Amino acid sequence: MNTRTTELAVGVLVILTGLALLFLALRVSGLADEMGNAGDSYRVSAHFQNVGGLKPRAKVTMSGVSIGQVSRIYLDPKRLDAVVEMKIDRQYNELSTDSAASILTAGLLGEKYIGITPGADSEFLKDGGEIEQTQSSLVLEDLIGKFLFNKATTPAAAPAESAAPAAPAPF
């Protein structure tokens, strides 16, 4: 085999490997889904007291099935709470107006995502709609602080009295 042919084959193999790695990186990061579904979704928002590590491009799920992703997170200057904007796939266009959104944690590394609990209302959220019922993220530091503060303020239990009857007094 010619040296030039071998060099050409190795070059093509390196380029194909690079393209495969780029494709995998886009799929894992979620950017490929974002670029491919530009017009196939509608936007809804929700207000949270604490987003606790939620990031844009986090999954939005219902019953464990991915139905969209977080597109933007910002602070509402009037209400002074976090607003999370989500892009929901158009095929899931029957989210009722009384649906609830919760920030949940997945896995050991603590990846945050939004879980939607469907409501029972006959009206559905439209593009630009808002989910009114929300549950903020549980922050581990807050829970530990409440636990420690509660332990510090509760008085220590008095030692239990001896269960043995008192000895009778001598005559």
For the chain, domain boundaries: 1-36, 39-139
pLDDT digits (tens, 9 = 90+) for 42-58: 999 999 988 888 899 99
- More confident: 69 or 37: 69
Q: Read off the pTM.
A: 0.64
Token pair, residue 36, equals 């491919």
- Does pLDDT of 30 surpass 90? no
Neighbours of 167 (CB within 10 A): 6
pLDDT digits (tens, 9 = 90+) for 62-98: 998 999 999 999 998 998 899 999 999 988 888 888 8
Mean pLDDT for the stretch of residues 102-114: 84
Mean pLDDT for the stretch of residues 39-44: 85
**Can you give the pLDDT at residue 154?**
62
Q: What is the overall mean pLDDT for the chain?
A: 82
Least-confidence region, from 37-41, 126-130, 145-149, 159-163: 159-163
